[in-house]
């Protein structure tokens, strides 16, 4: 596994009490030792994403605005999203991690890459930075792959809906976007009937789940609803927006997962693509202990290493949502 990161990502700061803190990245670094993974991974320094690629995913106005705010000493973009002096560069390194992963995986250097970067990205739309996110890291990678002729699956299991990723690919038939998320919750998007537009109709799959949902429901949703659509799409690459804030200990959400659930779900998703065509991106996760444990469980799964972690969960609500989603997609065919 490639462990792709850059020390400059720690320099992005949003305020002393902000949940998206530099300590989050340190918690993910700690996961390497927690699961004894140092010898199983190759450390890679992420480069900056080229400005022209950022402007190909986002509007030029957004890229220019983040650069200008950062250059003048920082400022608040919205209630949740802050730009510091180091943020523009940090965000470019975060977006560059996926591009470096694709290049190295293409050379056969590893089977999978894990991008340990921040700021996160999945709330950043074409024209707006929001929800702690400046640029959309997974979308930058997916766009590069799609432009090269690949069919890309993005699976987002952050507890918050990846509205930015959905916005960027909503009418793009080259990218299948799947989101498992808490409902209701920020940012208020991700209903079942948000399923794509125009040529992209049917290539957005939202699974909005109630608070307290456990791992068995996620796995049922994958097996019964999502997997058949993924198989029909025939992706050549799989990208995961790995948000660990659906963990039951997370302070800003209300879901019921454990590290063991993350490991099981991730293994299901990664089976879709062959080795060398799989990239995992860090998104949310705000309880530092849970973040370390969950990242360790996922990375141990990626390298096929046994790891004694929290048990998977079952018995929570949400099964009825799967039936509603299946019924909705039946009306599209």
DSSP line for 109-172: S-S-EEE--SS--TT--SS--BTTBSS-HHHHHHHHHHHTT--EEEEE-SSS--HHHHHHHTT-
Contacts 24+ apart (CB under 8 A), 182-185: 182/208, 182/209, 182/210, 182/211, 182/213, 182/246, 182/253, 182/254, 182/255, 183/208, 183/209, 183/210, 185/159, 185/160, 185/161, 185/253, 185/254
Nearest alpha carbon to residue 99 among 186, 27, 4: 4
CA distances from 200 to 172, 205, 229 (A): 5, 11, 13
Q: Can you read off the two tokens belonging to residue 300?
A: 């141990």
Is residue 301 within 8 Å of 312, Cβ to Cβ?
no
Is residue 27 within 8 Å of 116, Cβ to Cβ?
no
Residues annotated catalytic, as ranges: 123
φ, ψ dihedrals at 152, nearest 5° = -115, 130
What are the DSSP E strand ranges found in the chain? 2-5, 42-45, 75-76, 82-83, 113-115, 152-156, 175-182, 204-209, 237-242, 278-282
How far is CA 27 from its chain centroid? Answer: 17
């Amino acid at each position: 596994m490639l462990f792709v990161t850059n020390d400059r990502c720690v320099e992005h700061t949003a305020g002393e009490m902000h949940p998206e803190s530099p300590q989050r990245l340190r918690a993910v670094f700690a996961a390497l030792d927690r699961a004894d993974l140092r010898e199983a991974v190759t450390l890679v320094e992420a480069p900056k994403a080229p400005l022209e690629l950022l402007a190909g995913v986002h509007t030029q106005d957004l890229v220019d605005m983040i650069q200008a705010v950062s250059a003048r000493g920082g400022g608040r973009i919205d209630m949740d999203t802050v730009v510091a002096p180091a943020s523009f560069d940090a965000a470019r390194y975060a977006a560059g991690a996926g591009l470096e992963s694709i290049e190295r995986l293409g050379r056969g250097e590893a089977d999978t890459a894990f991008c340990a970067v921040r700021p996160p990205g999945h709330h950043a739309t074409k024209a707006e930075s929001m929800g702690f996110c400046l640029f959309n890291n997974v979308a930058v990678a997916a766009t590069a792959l799609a432009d090269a002729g690949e069919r890309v699956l993005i699976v987002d299991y952050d507890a918050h809906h990846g509205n930015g990723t959905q916005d960027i690919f909503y009418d793009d038939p080259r990218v299948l976007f799947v989101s498992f998320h808490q409902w209701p919750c920020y940012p208020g998007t991700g209903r079942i009937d948000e399923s794509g537009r125009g040529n992209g109709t049917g290539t957005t799959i939202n699974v909005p789940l109630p608070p307290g949902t456990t791992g068995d429901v996620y796995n049922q949703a994958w097996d019964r609803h999502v997997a058949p659509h993924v198989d029909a799409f025939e992706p050549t690459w799989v990208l995961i927006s790995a948000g660990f804030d659906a963990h039951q200990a997370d302070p800003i959400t209300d879901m019921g997962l454990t590290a063991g659930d993350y490991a099981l779900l991730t293994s299901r998703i990664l089976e879709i693509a062959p080795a060398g065509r799989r990239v995992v991106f860090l998104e949310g996760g705000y309880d530092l202990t849970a973040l370390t444990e969950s990242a360790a469980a996922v990375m141990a799964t990626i390298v096929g290493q046994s790891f004694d972690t929290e048990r998977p969960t079952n018995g929570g609500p949400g099964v009825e949502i799967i039936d509603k989603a299946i019924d909705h997609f039946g009306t599209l065919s």
